[in-house]
Structure 1
Amino acid sequence: MANERDEDVAARAERLRLDTLREYRIMDTAPEPAFDRVTKMVAELFGVPIALVSLVDDCRQWFKSAYGLDTSETPREMSFCQYVIAEERPVMVSDVLGDPRFRDNVLVTGDLHIRFYAGVPLRAYNGAILGSLCVIDREERGPLTTVELERLEDFAGIIMAEADLRRIGAERDEARRALERALDFSGIATWQYDARTDRLRTQGAGAELWGSGFETMLATGNGFFGLVHPDDRAALRAILEESIANGTPYAAEYRVLNPERGVRWNAVRGDWDVRSDDAMLTGVSIDITEQKSRQENANLLMRELHHRMRNLFATVSAIISLTRHAARDVDDYVERISSRLDALNRAQNVLLGANFMTGSMHALMREVEAAFSRIRWSGPDLLLPENALVAMALLFNELATNAAKHGALTSEGGRVEVRWSQDPEDSEPRLFRLTWAESGGKDVVVAPDRTSFGTLLMERSVRNNLGGTIERRWEPTGLVVDIALPARWREA
């Protein structure tokens, strides 16, 4: 069990080491003077023919710098540096022929003819050993002194400091590229403005905000104002001048003339970045056209709702007033008012289920059918504006209420069939035609001897509100109502 745990620890350490080596993005890169100067200096200082910066991955050792050696890499199993990694400390061999680890190595027995080796770890920022800085001699020599070994470790530190500069620079460049891509995708541009020279620098989604070729226009503040909508230039200049004069934050919303996308709204926010004796106005710009559109739609919707509420209250007030004159007593008044308010509620349910301004004929008929279950209907689905929907809802409510009190719906076998259609588009005049046909009532229906408020309400809804005609016939089978209106509604 102890051996298994040790193997797991070793495997995790090796994974960390290899991951760290990849972080440096240094393997197989071109020679660099900063590393070559160190190996040359080390070789001369220690009086050896070969000095190497050796980096070891999972299968090979690769030389970032090789003074005195033409080979760029060797297999890992041949390398001396693997023992520096394994032992995590400097390794020095002054008699390779007497060391069983090295005496049969091809680097000893072959043309390279290694007889002396000293290598110190190249430690990364997190302690992982990536390889070694080593000195090699083809002649036998005594071991390095403690001072010499410390000096070699100092050079290894210089090597890793240079490698860390490369790593940090690569990470910085990658982060900058990622930020630029994120800005491009987000529709945001960053900018910096020097008020003293009028110079302007931008990054990010400039083409999306200002259009192609924006770089030329946005090289200066004056050039930027050439992209601003003429109606917004004076106000935007005044805001910028106030910010420059007082050192206050800069914030505005303005329109731009984007050559590809037309007039767009931008929001800009900036503040002063003070550095010693100069100050730069630094900020961001973002396209807010969609937000502006939603805001305008919301304002339009609020105005429409306000208009509709006024119409609704006026309708309710008229119903209350006129029903009062037609009611026989308080109970009858409450019943009639409740029924007509239910009809208005059905119309509002349909409008709320859509866009507040139009409603579906089918949706309205489903509401009517839910209140009066033996009504059947058929016809094309049409989109009715709010006033027409309310008028139709009141019309159907009066017809259904009368049928429930005096007509077909007084008996279990009674039925109401509602059918409608629109004339072909080339008809003149083109009409919407609806028929309400009752059948199966328990009594023979006859024309009433007086005109009720409900009848007046139906005629007002059809003639005054919808601009049509209504005709009622008391057939032996039941009441038949024919309605004709101008065909103004489009299909849903």
Structure 2
Amino acid sequence: MNYTSDIEADRIAALVETGLLDTSQDERFDRYTRLASALTDCPIALITLLDDKRQWFKSRVGLDVEQTPRSDAFCDYTIRGQNLMIVEDTLKDPRFVNNALVTGDPFIRFYAGVPLWLSSGHCIGALCVIDRKPRSGDELTGLRELEDLAQTLTLEIEAHTKDSKRVQAMADQEIVIAELKHRMGNLYTNVAALIRNSDDGLASREDFSTQLQNRVNMMAHAQRRLAERDFRSTDLSALVGDAVRDFGGTHGASERIVIDGAPCSINPRSAMSIALMIHELGTNALKHGALRDADGRVNLSWRQDESRFHIEWVENTVAHVPQCDETQSDRHRVGFGSTLLYRIIPMELGGTLDKGFGPNGFFYKLQADSILLNEPV
């Protein structure tokens, strides 16, 4: 075999996939080493698995150590071939005469090993027997049976792999179900809060329905984005893009929101808060601020340094904005939208808020701890 680095990488990947490395003693495998020792009358029998640095013994008879460096492994030669490998006398073989396992404990003089080839075409280790005295392969009994035993062992390994995958799949499914229950519970709680608080003194049931639907739609956008990454995180740029597109119907508002921010992953709780924040800011800007008129602009930007996350919504109106007018009073009218923007969202993000009216219009600047936005929840 032309043994290349690609073959070795694939071989190790197949070994890892079995899930056998560093597992506890298992009678299913111990019976193979006991039988191999008995068949060949050798005091030592091993099931060896070779990763990139070591040979680890899944099962062993007559040897106390659990592993040796791969550089000392006789089985490193075995896995490069297709058939039984025999070393009748290590002191007469230049490959092994100075090997640490020959010159020191366990003082190997005889070795016979059969490679363990999986049906995938990868050899992950060997079933081998060892003696402390030289042996003649022609005189040694049980070698044919050792090869048969190795073939049966590979079937055992593949059955173990399938069982492990099935158990893991069931465990993963339970985790997913539990996570979905948790997420759905949070979603129901959030929607219930929106229904309970979205009245805001609205004049009609139609206005109430429209406002509630818009807020729920924004939460749905966030949920869809989170689902793309198994509810672990989402990209802030994609989330912002969804929110801004919702404002496109009025005077081309979405085209007048200038977005500036690098890709940034945020956790589910932060995603919901930021999605609702942008929705409320955009809705207010359409009613009372820069997006109300066709020439108004909004700069929406964010940045992240070592410890802090900054997100800013800065409106630029064409006309001068008085310091005390109906626009400002409308902005600060007490309602659920204002409560979301000025109390709930900063608290959810663990941030500090700076808001008000500058020379060109309303601004909303929030700082939060980067760790709180990025850590899993």
Unaligned runs of 5+ residues in structure 1 are 1-180, 219-225, 227-259, 261-280
For 1:1-400, list aligned pairs within 5 A: 200=35, 206-208=47-49, 212-213=56-57, 216-217=60-61, 284-286=156-158, 287-288=160-161, 289-324=164-199, 326-372=201-247, 373=254, 374-400=256-282
Out of 347, 357, 377, the residue aligned to residue 474 of structure 1 is 357
Q: Does 1:447 align with 2:319?
A: no
1:62-119 per-position Cα deviation (integer Å, ceiling 9, x unaligned): xxxxxxxxxxxxxxxxxxxxxxxxxxxxxxxxxxxxxxxxxxxxxxxxxxxxxxxxxx
Preserved CA contact (<8 Å) 2:237 2:264 = yes
The secondary structure found in structure 2 opposite 1:380 is coil
Shift of 1:469: 2.2
For 1:453-472, list aligned pairs within 5 A: 453-472=336-355
TM-score (norm 1): 0.42
Distance 1:490 1:212 in 2: 38
By percentage of residues, which structure has more strand?
Answer: 1
Preserved CA contact (<8 Å) 2:47 2:57 = no
Out of 262, 266, 290, the residue aligned to residue 408 of structure 1 is 290
Shift of 1:366: 1.5
Distance 1:362 1:309 in 2: 24
Shift of 1:351: 0.4
Q: RMSD across aligned C-alpha pairs, in angstroms?
A: 4.2
1:184-239 per-position Cα deviation (integer Å, ceiling 9, x unaligned): 999699x999x9xx96469xx95349x75557549xxxxxxx9xxxxxxxxxxxxx
The secondary structure found in structure 2 opposite 1:337 is helix
The secondary structure found in structure 1 opposite 2:363 is strand
Instruction: Tell me: CA distance 1:325–1:447, structure 2 relative to 1, closer, same or farther (3 Å).
Output: closer
Shift of 1:344: 0.2
Instruction: Tell me: CA distance 1:452–1:441, structure 2 relative to 1, closer, same or farther (3 Å).
Output: farther
1:33-53 per-position Cα deviation (integer Å, ceiling 9, x unaligned): xxxxxxxxxxxxxxxxxxxxx
1:116-135 per-position Cα deviation (integer Å, ceiling 9, x unaligned): xxxxxxxxxxxxxxxxxxxx
Shift of 1:475: 2.8
Out of 428, 434, 438, the residue aligned to residue 315 of structure 2 is 438
Q: Quick one: which amino acid aligns to residue 439 of structure 1?
A: N
1:418 paired residue number: 300
Distance 1:216 1:484 in 2: 59
Preserved CA contact (<8 Å) 1:360 1:384 = yes
Distance 2:167 2:283 in 1: 47
Shift of 1:434: 1.8
Preserved CA contact (<8 Å) 2:315 2:362 = yes
Distance 2:319 2:168 in 1: 58
Distance 2:18 2:262 in 1: 45
Q: Which moved more, 1:341-350 or 1:451-460?
A: 451-460
Question: How many residues get paired?
Answer: 243
Shift of 1:406: 1.7
Distance 2:260 2:245 in 1: 15
Distance 2:56 2:298 in 1: 65
2:86 paired residue number: none
Preserved CA contact (<8 Å) 1:413 1:440 = yes
Preserved CA contact (<8 Å) 2:47 2:60 = no
Instruction: Tell me: CA distance 1:299–1:333, structure 2 relative to 1, closer, same or farther (3 Å).
Output: same
Q: Quick one: which amino acid aligns to residue 407 of structure 1?
A: G
Percent of pairs with identical residues: 27
Distance 1:464 1:187 in 2: 47
**Higher relative contact order at CA 8 Å, sep ≥6: structure 1 or structure 2?**
2
Q: Quick one: which amino acid aligns to residue 309 of structure 2?
A: F
Shift of 1:367: 1.0
Unaligned runs of 5+ residues in structure 2 are 1-10, 21-26, 38-45, 67-124, 126-151, 248-253
Preserved CA contact (<8 Å) 1:468 1:484 = yes
The secondary structure found in structure 1 opposite 2:303 is strand
Instruction: Tell me: CA distance 1:482–1:325, structure 2 relative to 1, closer, same or farther (3 Å).
Output: closer
The secondary structure found in structure 1 opposite 2:230 is coil
Preserved CA contact (<8 Å) 1:467 1:486 = yes
Distance 2:34 2:370 in 1: 63
Instruction: Tell me: CA distance 1:475–1:357, structure 2 relative to 1, closer, same or farther (3 Å).
Output: same
Q: Quick one: which amino acid aligns to residue 266 of structure 2?
A: L
Distance 2:320 2:210 in 1: 23
TM-score (norm 2): 0.54
> After TM superposition, which residue ranges in structure 1, 4 or more long, deviate above 6 angstroms?
none
1:146 paired residue number: none
Instruction: Tell me: CA distance 1:192–1:330, structure 2 relative to 1, closer, same or farther (3 Å).
Output: closer
Shift of 1:346: 1.5
Q: Quick one: which amino acid aligns to residue 180 of structure 2?
A: L
